[in-house]
Chain A
């Protein structure tokens, strides 16, 4: 695969919450079409990092360029950027007062100003893609967790995003529903979408990732291809972490 066009470039990025130093001198490049999996213990800054990638959090110093737009709190293009960068949340965050179909069409219709007919057509296409075309007229609360997360993925896709960020997409799911979400993500990866995934699902990582990132205490400790990452990680801390989560 050609991995030459950088789409996310973080250079010396630092982020503070008050006195807490959440991201420490983060340097990372994501190329177009890349599938990056970020893991690390909780509190290591991995969610913070990807939340910075679509302006849900703002870094305090350093440079972050996404899709040619320099991201900072006062960037005028931030809304355009968010339309290009989709985000899937741990808690799904579907709009509970709207039906599944409305959840998918509201962004395209209100933000991209696309007509209802076309928006619904796109929505049904992506509902098909995530294997729940029959749930279009239900409300989110009538769906299982796995179905809700798949709707959330479809909602982002409906914006015709170029980058998809996943913030622990399976952590809030019952075990028997994890695979249906991961399957959809694997299929999405096959379409060539650029994906940055924060997850502890190492089976998924092995199957999909072309780059593994390990973070700890706000720092990027290791960036390596999966075969090297899983068999021979360069840092001791990463080895210990993998031992712990792969034990079961």
Chain B
């Protein structure tokens, strides 16, 4: 085993940070502070709940996540709800991406009418609350076009997020250097060939981080469809609470389920981005 030798430095040592700063900045002190803060919050909530006489029944929660019966492993209501949430979100996201790409291309088309339509759509969607948009789709467009609540929810989420996604796509497309357009043109490519083979593949790199944020945002905002009783995670949580009165436990659990899913997504994409970067 070799011991790395500290090289003898010829220069004068530089002044260090003051001792007090070094103390507060050191890792062990930070960890202690972190646990103290978390502990205070947890203890505060717990004693608060005790004082109002809340009856904690955590032992009853797992059955809503999963259970083992004679038939073997069974998904509980909350995880079935999560499945519905994911299905809703993915469908809405795919639709939102297609619509968003159309709006972005319209805006970038250079046609006065095209960008006017795109900007009008964007401003309309961005300036009304998601909840109102949902009511519009369900209570106004629903009866007119015969949309059921599930379709209305998907359309609401897709339309709302398409506005945000189109801005991400537009920014990503604009982030590709102008010279790429010129190079593609100079070898005779059409506009659509240029988008397909040159511009869009490059803009993925710029779009990936904000798009992940958007998926996370979409999964979270999908909870809003519980107000029109579409079967998904939040609705199931509400139903369980109305049966069992365990509002603290169930809302905590629902929150954690959302958090786990979105965290996994963020970590996964960070990994993807790193791999993608190496390739370039």
A interface residues with partner B (beta carbon < 8 Å): 54-56, 79-80, 82-83, 85-87, 89, 91, 93-97, 106-107, 110-112, 139, 141, 152, 155-156, 159
Contact = CB atoms under 8 A, between A and B. Distances in A.
Question: Number of contact residues on B: which range applies?
Answer: 10 to 19
23 contacts: A56-B186, A79-B188, A79-B189, A79-B190, A87-B182, A89-B179, A89-B182, A89-B186, A93-B177, A95-B198, A97-B202, A107-B187, A107-B188, A107-B189, A110-B189, A110-B193, A110-B197, A111-B189, A111-B193, A152-B183, A155-B183, A155-B187, A156-B186
Interface string B161-188: 0000000000000000101101111111
Interface of B: 177, 179-180, 182-190, 193, 197-198, 201-202, 279-280
Nearest to A103: B183
Given A96-B280, A97-B201, A97-B280, A56 B182 contact: yes
A95 B183 contact: yes
Contacts of B201: 97
Given A89-B179, A93-B179, A96-B202, A82 B186 contact: yes
Contact of B280 (A91, A93, A141, A159): A141
Contact of B186 (A80, A86, A95): A86
B188 A93 contact: no
Given A89-B179, A93-B180, A54 B197 contact: no
Given A97-B202, A106-B197, A141-B280, A91 B179 contact: yes
B49 to A, nearest CB: 55
B188 A111 contact: yes
A156 B180 CA distance: 14
Given A97-B201, A97-B202, A111-B193, A156 B182 contact: no
Contact of A56 (B177, B185, B190, B279): B185
B186 A111 contact: no
B196 to A, nearest CB: 9
Contacts of B185: 55-56, 82
